[in-house]
Structure 1
Amino acid sequence: MTSGYALIVRFTTRDADAAQAFDALVARTLEGIREEPGTLVYVSHIPEGEPLVRVFYELYADESAFQAHETQPHTRRMLQEREQYLTSTEVTFLGEQAGKRPAYQEGP
């Protein structure tokens, strides 16, 4: 069983309009991400009391699944377009210690 490959990304948007536009960009991008077999979890959160912040939790089957995600056209488009809406981006890669997560089954 693989231990997975995870990260948390904290985005701070410029203002309320930028947050709304960023959310729309994420929604469009998720259409493609839902088809990625190695992307197990990809969720955007709004922290309580921080309406301009978005925190993403991403879990991949392994590092190669993450690399495949990064090369997808929908991901590359988001990476290029997102900057106009943001004032900062913080990425934290995580090493799995223990817990419960979705099972990953490799395709045929």
Structure 2
Amino acid sequence: MIGIVVRFDVRDREAAVAFDRLTAAVVGHIRAREPGTLVYATHSVDDDALARVFYEIYADDAALQAHEDAPHVREFHAAKEPLLARPPRVELIRPGPSAHGITTE
């Protein structure tokens, strides 16, 4: 398994509304078309109305690559760029030794 945590900071409230609309549309496509995407959870941040955090888990590297190559994801990335205040912060994560029931291989 492989995971990603992404933080997006949008420009303003208008951009946040547009970003949330784009997100709702792409999440539907991800759930319907990406069997290797095990978790795709999007979040707002309590203390920062202009921040969004995505938590993503993929079955393996191939599933992550299939996600990144999917037309709906590429369209999302292109459409969201003008809404952002800065580049997103992306962290690649893998299960560690304390992950219960998950191997680290």
* TM-score (structure 2 length as normaliser): 0.89
Per-residue deviation at 1:48?
1.3
Provide closer, same or farther for how the CA distance between residues 66 and 16 of structure 1 changes in structure 2, counting only shifts above 3 A. Answer: same
2:3 alignment partner, SS class: strand
What's the RMSD between the two structures over aligned residues?
1.3
Per-residue deviation at 1:100?
6.4
Instruction: Say how many residue pairs are matched.
Output: 98
Could you tell me which runs of 5 or more consecutive residues in structure 1 were left unpaired when the two chains were aligned. 102-108
Could you tell me which runs of 5 or more consecutive residues in structure 2 were left unpaired when the two chains were aligned. none
Give CA deviations for 1:16-70 in whole Å, capped at 9, x if unaligned.
Answer: 1100100000111112101210000001111111110000000000011000011
Aligned pairs for 1:1-108 within 5 A:
4-35=1-32, 36-88=34-86, 89-97=88-96, 98-99=99-100
Give CA deviations for 1:80-106 in whole Å, capped at 9, x if unaligned.
Answer: 1110110121000012111468xxxxx
Instruction: Give the equivalent residue in structure 2 for 1:104.
Output: none
**Percent identity over the alignment?**
44
Regions of 4+ moved over 4 Å: none
